[in-house]
Amino acid sequence: MNTAPAPLSLKPDLEDAVRRWDAYFAGAIIDRPLVCVTAPQPNMPTAPWSGYRDRVFGDIDDIVDRAFTNAQATYYGGEAIPAIWLSFGPDEISAFCGAELAWSEGSGDTNWSVPFVERWEDALPLRIDGSDPLWQRMLRLYEAAAERLAGHALLCMPDLHTNMDLLAAVRGPERLCTDLIDQPEMIDRAMADTIVVFRQVWDAARQAGRMDVCGYGPAPYSMEGGAVLQCDFSCMMSPAMFDRWVLPALEEEASIVRHVVYHWDGPDARVHTDSLVASAPIQTLSYVPGDGRGTHIDYVSMYKSLQARGKAVQVGGSIDEVRLLHQELAPELTMYCTYASSPQEADELLEWFVRHT
């Protein structure tokens, strides 16, 4: 780290947590693996969590106040960092580029992008529209949150569905599948644009959220800069297409964010395992099994195989499940995420990891 992080009121042991994050990203441990465990603080009030609708349409000060109330009501044990999530939805970046967010009463809090690209020739280059109302609202929300939470909690990055996910949002997944075959040169151009857009979002959110102040980067993946990268559309691509377009884009994004946790979504995306494992910038794989396909504890052999090939994994579950996982997985290559019923139970889990590492 370039500078020691300033204290956070909601994370008194921040300095120790930062040392452990740094050790994890260096492929090492201090006396146990990286463990992010949260628990409710006793006798503390909570507020209704703000969803996508609230964050798009609600009062900004109220959204930030409720986030702060809930952060105060949470115990952040181990390497869990108090961090506020401010996303407008998975397709928010496409909306910043000109798409419309659609809502349905039958879809709960979820929104999605209405594709607008009819001809790539007319739509390129893709860029953030600085006058877009949702973009301006994002900046105001980050500024308000940074002001209110300074010295207490950090801010997470927006939902970084860029690279091929951004193209799917602005063009439509079905038409994009055809374009990959019929217009590969246009996809080359469009994918180059997504890197520019990624940089625009990354820099603007860091500035508005004061993420460069006092040694902080975006939370929670390291104090010096880190993010969750992803490409959910990859489940619809062949390995050759993934290697041509998505992997280079992910590696460029990784060079911007420094530390990467890759959100690896669903069984169909496992066709790209070899490419992800071979990519040095992608350090940690966070596999999402998918509905009805079990939990992380059902994929121990896959995780062990990934670790044998040098990759770290992010796994989660109940306290009992992470204890079982710890008996199988390499401690220096595992990030555990779990929850406890009380701060005491969270601390007891951390002590258990020390005794059993």
pLDDT tens series, the chain, 357 aa: 445 667 899 999 998 998 999 899 999 999 999 999 999 999 999 999 999 999 999 999 999 999 999 999 999 999 999 989 999 999 999 999 999 999 998 888 899 999 999 999 999 999 999 999 999 999 999 999 999 999 999 898 898 999 999 999 999 999 999 999 999 999 999 999 999 999 999 999 999 998 865 444 455 544 445 788 999 999 999 999 999 999 999 999 999 988 889 999 989 999 999 999 999 999 999 999 988 889 999 999 999 999 999 999 999 999 999 999 999 999 999 999 999 999 999 999 999 999 999
Question: Which pLDDT belongs to residue 341?
Answer: 98
Domain residue extents for the chain: 14-20+44-266+283-300
Residue 222 has a pLDDT of: 45
CA–CA separation, 38 and 131 (whole Å):
39
- Whole-number Å distance between alpha carbons of 37 and 81: 9
**What angle, 0 to 180 degrees and rounded to 10, lies between the N-to-C axes of helices 60-72 and 133-149?**
40
Task: Measure Cα distances from 148 to 25, 47, 63, 143 in Å.
Answer: 30, 16, 11, 9
Q: How far apart are CA 55 and CA 53, in angstroms?
A: 5
Q: How far apart are CA 343 and CA 357, in angstroms?
A: 21
Q: What is the pLDDT of residue 35?
A: 96
Regarding pTM above 0.75, the answer is: yes
DSSP β-bridge partners for residue 123:
none
CATH number of 14-20+44-266+283-300: 3.20.20.210
Q: Which pLDDT belongs to residue 257?
A: 87
CB-based contacts of 87, cutoff 8 Å, min separation 6: 52, 55, 156, 158, 159
Q: What is the pLDDT of residue 107?
A: 82
